[in-house]
Each structure stands twice: as C-alpha cells, then as structure tokens.
Structure 1
C-alpha cells in the first residue's frame, strides 16, 4: 500500500501501511500498537509536519547524551525526514515512535532491569507506576521539553549526575597516565613510580600543577604535598585515607576516564530503575556506600554507617517492609556460616562453643551434648547462640520479609564502623546507632517504652510494629558531594561491569 499524503491524516492501519516501520517498532520497548494509539487519540493527525517542531525534538533527543543514553538510537525518523517541509505518513510514525521510546527509556531505563540487576520485591511492597508513555506524551503535547523533564527521575542525584556529564569536561579527556604495579608507595620513600603518581594526581585535578613542586630537587621522593593529595584522592573514592598507595588505591588510580564515564552512565541507568521503588517515607540501605538513610517526606531525616555483606556473601538487592523487632535475639547460625566458619573452629577446639555461648541442636530443635557429636561428619545439626553480651546480633534484630534470611541488626563489632570499607558481614546489615533507629521505627511513645522495657529485661521477645516502614536495599557507586564533585566508590560486588556490558551491547 502506498504512503498517504500528510494532510489526509492517519486513517490507515499502521501495520499494513508501513510494514518495515511496524517491524522496527516490534523490536523495541514501544510497539506499533502504542504508536497507533498515540495517533488515534489525536484524531489520527500527523504530528511532525512542522520543521521547527522537528528541530526542537532533535535538540531534546541529542540532550539525552547527558542522561547517559545514546541519542543516535532515537534519531532514525528525524534523519529520514531531514528538512523536508512535508513528511510522509510512515516517516511521521517513525519520528513518533522514537520520541515515545526516548520517554520510555527515561521512565524505565534503557535496559530491562530484571534481566541485568534484579531486585526481590515483597508482594505487598509499594512500587510507583509512572504515567503510561502515550498518556505522558499527550499530557505534554504542547511542550516537548516538559515531556522529557517529566519522564526523567525526580531524584536529586540524577539531576546532579546529568550536570556532571554536561559540565564535567574531565570526563571527556584522554586517558591519564597509569601507575605501574609494585610495592606499596608510602610517604618518605623514593621510587621511580612516584613521578607517574604525581602526574596522575595532577591530571585528575587532585594535585595542583601551579604550585612550586617540592619534588623539583628529587622527583622520586614521596613528599608531604604528594601525601596530602593521595589522602584526598582516597577520601574521594571511599578508601582508607592513610596516604599509602596499596592495591586498592592503585586500582582506583588506574581507572581510565572512559571507565569513569561509563560508571556514571551505569548509575544513571540504575537511578532510572530505582525511581519506582522510592517512597516519601522509606528506609534505604546504601550497600556500596555502607550507610543507612532514613527518609521522611522525601528528605533524609537521619543517616548512619552500616556494615554490609562481603564479596562472597553479598547483601541482596530487595524491597520489603519492616514488620517486627526481636529484642535480645538469639542467633541461629546460617548453614553457610556454620560450614565455612564455625565448623573449622569447633574442630580445632570444641571449647569454642562454650566460649561463644552456643548450643548444639538437632533437626527437631533438641539440645545435644557437643561431645556426643561426630564433628568430622556432624550431619543435620544447628548452632544457636544465646542472647546477651557477645551475641552476633547484638541486642536487637529488625525484621522484614525476604527469601535470603537477612535483616538489620545491632552488633558487638562496633569498632568496624570506623573503617572506610565496611563489606564485612555475612549478608545482613549491621547498623551503627541502632537504638536511634528504633525510636524512628516506633509509631508512638508507648511502643518506645515497651521496646526499652524488653531490652532491659534481657529476655528474647518479639515486638510487632503498628507502622510498617518500607525498606530498600539498593546499590549505586557514584555520588556528588556538597562541593559538586563526583565521588566514586569501589564496585565491591562487581555489578557495574554487568550493567556496562549490557549498555554497550545496546541491551
């Protein structure tokens, strides 16, 4: 069937009139049915006959580079149209498809999250549903710029990262110098690699190049000015700021500008996914940053440090609701920890059980004499640590539904909160200042008083919460500080690479 003249409107079925375009639409997140609906709800009138309107759309699509998206993906129809004053039916439909697809990607992400970085979500947990893309486009039909603005995530960090891509010229610079591997570089030593270290920090803007160089007399000396710059670099990358260039610091130094640019793109994509999980009142565990944020009315009302899962025992990504507390909890050792940690210790010294205040139980929950167990092949047994001083969960556990048996809890290992890197737990989240969090979770003073009384009793008791607080365990690896500087975290769980590879494949 031939193409219709623009002034007759789109009364013909899109699939039969434009089979090539319809097939292209079917391979994307916005199919031909939605494109047809877009026209039908506007009286089947063509939409892109005005050259000025097309030029505005082109500008807005090219601006998607600052969202970490590839503008070329959305310019197919506009490139076909060029500057022609009259645009054929099928080309007009192609432009509409590309426009709707761009809005869809801003709302939901370029990638399908479930196939790349899935979150477990409790059935009753609320998820925000964005306005359907056709509705959004029609609602803002007279203002294309507003349609893009409304499709974007409302999070402050998203806007900050967009501005970093727009203004951060250092992200587009050539690769900087690589500091070779070797022994740790420490203040006061002399090493040929110090020359490259100094240049690398100057390239990154951490070490000014316009100050007199103390190294002019000895370029191989790791001097005080260089030590100050290394510590600043470490702080910006959430490393121990000890001034020692060991393996972790060296790894971050040698991440190229291109890799950093991709890291920003990856986190913009994550923030598009996270938009649907956010609520005005929410508890967020920032896994990569090892911190907890308590959000009220969309603002962070309280924050604290956490200890999260190791690389081998990662804290899972999920959304749930906090339902109850366990005061003075006992701790039943999870099977993996029993097998990998506790069993070797018991085999070495059975007195470990008594010192750790642990009982041995069979599959029916009956207490066993530890000397009656064949520890070389213990079979179906469990370990349970008594409540009280030294219990791995401290004095309280904060519970929420999930299939991973993880929760938030107190800890006797308070000294670990002082570390810059706090991936030290077996998957659960240890919370610094946990009793301040209990005050926030309790709905009223009577609940707070009951919690305090049960804590003081020393007995193991459950407290059901009247107000179920949403909890989100999420992962992102880029921040923007109060001075507007990008700060990069180590991708401890290796999740950035998976997202980056999918983005580079185009999904």
Structure 2
C-alpha cells in the first residue's frame, strides 16, 4: 500500500512538471564592442548633449566608450573630416554632414572648452555615421517616395562597422567596403568622375522653331550651329568645325555616335528625340548621375547566382548565370501613366497558353469605351464575359452601367494579349513577364507602351533556356511546341532558382564614355531635388 501511495505522488509530481510553461529565452541584441580610447585628450560627454540628436545609435556608441570623447587621435579625425568634405565625389552633399561646421571646430581644437570638445566629438560621430548610412542604403527611403517600388530595406549595424574599423585603425577601408559592390554602381562613380572633367557649359539651347521637319544629311538648318557646338562639347565630334549651317558627313557620323550613347536610333536623322538629348546641359547630366547613384544604393548588391535583370528605361532584359550574361532580350515596358513597378522577386512559374483576364484599369480606360461603341468589341478579340456566378454573358445583355460586375477572360492562342506564355513571380502589383500579340513593336526605339507588365521578345526561347535544368529536366523546343499546339493552359514550375531584379536607371559609363537613357517616368529631376532639399 505504501508503495502505491509513493507511485501516486510521483505521478502527480511529474504531471505538474509537464504543465509548467516553457521559458522562452529573450533574444538579446549584441551590444557594439567597447571603443579603445587613445591617450590623447579625452573628456566626459554629457548625455544631455547626446539626447539632443534623438538617436539610439549615437547613445549606444557613447555607451561603448563610457561616455568619453573618442576622436582625440588626429589621424582618425582628419580621415573623417576629409571624407565628409569630399563626399561630393561620391555624389553626396558635404552640407548634409555639417562639413564646414566641423572644419571650424577643428581649426580651434586646442582652444576648445571641455563642453565644446564633447560637442565636436558628438558631431563627428553623428555625421560620419549618417554619411556611412547614406553610402550604404541611400539618403532617402524609396517606400516613402513611391507607391510602386517593392524593395527590401537594406540594414546596417553602423556602430559595429564603425567601432570595429576604429579599434583596428582601419577607418581608411570603411567607406569603400560599405558601398554597393555592383558593377553599375562603379560605372556611375566613374561617370561622375568623367563629367567633372568637362568645362563649364555655356552653349545656347537648340531651338525647335527652325525644325519644321527632321534634319537629314546635306540639309541646311540654322539649328546645326548649336548642334555642332554640343557634339564638340561632349566629344562626339572631334577636332574643330566651321560651325556652318550645313549637315555634312562629319556631323552626320558624330550625330550617330551621340545617338548610340543615348539609346536612340543611330540613323543620323536629327528629330525631337535627338534634340531633347542634346539640350541636356552638363549640370543636368551630372544631376542625373547623382540621382542614379542614390537609386543604386537602394538596390541590393548581393546578386543571386542566377538572375534576370531588367533596366526599364533601357528596354532590356539580361539573363545572368554564374556572373555570365547568357541571354539578352528587348522588352516593352509600361507607359508613364501605367508604369512598370520596381520589384525584386524570384521567378516561380512558366505558363504556356495563358488566358488573360482584363484588369480594372484597362477595363475602365479601354474596354468600356470600346464596348459602348461596338458591342462585339470583346467577341472579336476572343474575350468572354462572365457574371458573378460564372455564367457566360452575351455582349448584347452586358450592362454598360455596371461593367465591374463582370469578369472578362480572353482564351489562349497566338492572338491572346499575353501571347503564348507568361512568367510569374510574387509581387503586389499583379504584373508578370509575358509574350505579346503585337510582336512587331520590338523594332521600335521607344518601347514604353504596355500597361505595366513587361513584354519579352522571342519568349519561347527564353522559356526553353530557363526550364532546361541540366540536372533533372529537359525542355527541348519540340516539347514546348507540342504544348503550345494544344492551346491548353499549362503551368510549369521553374526548378532552377532565378532572382528577378526589375529596376530603373538612366545613366552609367562604359569604356570611359558617358551613357544615358531617356528618363521615361520623369523621376531623375524630382529625385535630385529631394536629395538636395
């Protein structure tokens, strides 16, 4: 009996232990390492001075030095001051980092009171960390500027980075290491360096009054005087020129060179697009480069092993695999009213023989007006109307006053608006990459024509390329063609991992030449103005 009681008590004890809630350990943030102070003059920092900046990072920084000043070493201090003063060579503004104020403190360093020295020290830290943050992830937040930019916020533990470099006396490498590593970013820094070698620009604007028609070889036109001045200024025309009003062969070849650098049709014909590009001043082009540097600081520079990278203003898609560009495609992008969104995502699925459901914007702006004019508009395009129960609706019974009460679906086929295939990837904008039933438009120079999605030239070859996983899956052209012939919608998962970078940039450099593209969404000037506000 005693043994029975003992077992009963043990069981009760064990069951109670099991009912105790598990203690979940609280994840503690790792504090930055302690700052190694120099033997030079240090003073205590009043925490109220730090509090003025309302910066948790700044507070944690001085906690690591036991609230002592840290910039007593002249070499370290000079490095920081020089970086902030010369930040303009990286496209930043020295005024953002109180460069002149800090230089004034430095000149009086030996005469500063303890409070002034503490203030100087705090200002050095605060502005240098601000500078490092701006270099790493940009000055502005794209999510606060745009509703159609889906980019992950870049993180930076600026204290750990700074203190580690500080303690190891390697501040001279911190600025280089913290910036984006992408090749385009480096090309933009080179572009900024190149444009600063040009003299001041005092050339008059090229007026369009004298351009009643396009200027072609051997034409005479007064506008050619300033056109030649611009070509000479930018180095597209070498040597000297008489600056006559005649469009001679030398100018013709120079115009073609200029057009190629600016993504224009390099045919030597001078129209409004060429004039518009020629009328950019040196200062405007410099501002454009600085705006693009800011964008590239927003972008993630840790590229996946395999990826699609789209430059919207360049109307181009490059497939990169193991750092090698394996395919290049011309694309069509959204208009200025229906912009293609900026997205970082991952490719998931290829859909052959897709149906197309008319989106709300196109329904409102295109379909409804067309249906009111012609009730057979949708039928002629092989688009079926469905009511809320999924029942097919005859065009004659369609209620034009309640167009939103229906679903509009276009059947698969060669003339489907999405063409013969689309590529899906997660995003918040209901966009994708796809074929088109307007296949001749890829020959056009300006391809800002879509409703937001990206149309791809020769997409079936692209599908064959990305679906061919050499390890497990083979997708020959014949297999894809047989699926297309069925006209049955077929979803194929992409087994090879591809990231998608659908981005926007309008300037870079190549072989010491400045390269520009038209700012089709008019983002550059506005971004530059906000950067310098």
Q: CA deviation at 1:15?
A: 2.7
Q: Within 5 A, what are the aligned runs for 1:199-278? A: 199-210=229-240, 213=242, 219-275=244-300, 278=303
**Stretch of structure 1 that moved more, 343-352 or 48-57:** 343-352
CA distance in 1, matches of 2:496, 2:41: 58
Is 1:367 the counterpart of 2:392 in the alignment? yes
* 2:120 match: 91
* 2:134 match: 105
Match of 2:207 among 168, 180, 201: 180
CA distance in 2, matches of 1:343, 1:446: 44
Is 1:446 the counterpart of 2:473 in the alignment? yes
Is 1:71 the counterpart of 2:94 in the alignment? yes
Change (3 A) 1:44 1:447: farther
Match of 1:15 among 33, 40, 47: 47
Q: CA deviation at 1:111?
A: 1.6
- TM-score, length basis structure 1: 0.86
Query: Secondary structure of 2:300's partner?
Result: helix
Number of positions where the alignment pairs a residue of Structure 1 with one of Structure 2: 481
Asked if the contact 1:170–1:257 (Cα under 8 Å) also holds between the matched residues in 2, the reply is no
Q: Gaps spanning 5+ residues in structure 1: where?
A: none
CA distance in 1, matches of 2:480, 2:68: 64
Match of 1:168 among 186, 195, 202: 195
CA distance in 2, matches of 1:62, 1:197: 37
* 1:325 match: 350
Q: CA RMSD in A?
A: 2.8
Is 1:388 the counterpart of 2:413 in the alignment? yes
Is 1:472 the counterpart of 2:472 in the alignment? no
CA distance in 1, matches of 2:465, 2:70: 52
Change (3 A) 1:496 1:278: farther
CA distance in 1, matches of 2:86, 2:389: 63
CA distance in 2, matches of 1:115, 1:277: 23
Asked if the contact 2:203–2:226 (Cα under 8 Å) also holds between the matched residues in 1, the reply is no
Asked if the contact 1:51–1:84 (Cα under 8 Å) also holds between the matched residues in 2, the reply is no
Change (3 A) 1:335 1:93: closer
Q: Gaps spanning 5+ residues in structure 2: where?
A: 1-37
- TM-score, length basis structure 2: 0.82
Change (3 A) 1:120 1:404: same
Q: CA deviation at 1:334?
A: 1.7
Asked if the contact 1:306–1:431 (Cα under 8 Å) also holds between the matched residues in 2, the reply is yes
CA distance in 2, matches of 1:491, 1:478: 9
Q: CA deviation at 1:169?
A: 3.2
* 1:488 match: 516
Query: Secondary structure of 1:497's partner?
Result: helix
Asked if the contact 1:329–1:393 (Cα under 8 Å) also holds between the matched residues in 2, the reply is yes
Query: Secondary structure of 1:398's partner?
Result: strand
Query: Secondary structure of 1:448's partner?
Result: coil
Deviations 1:190-218 (A, max 9, x none): 222222222222222222233x65x6xxx
Asked if the contact 1:279–1:298 (Cα under 8 Å) also holds between the matched residues in 2, the reply is no
Q: CA deviation at 1:348?
A: 4.1
Query: Secondary structure of 1:191's partner?
Result: coil
* 1:432 match: 457
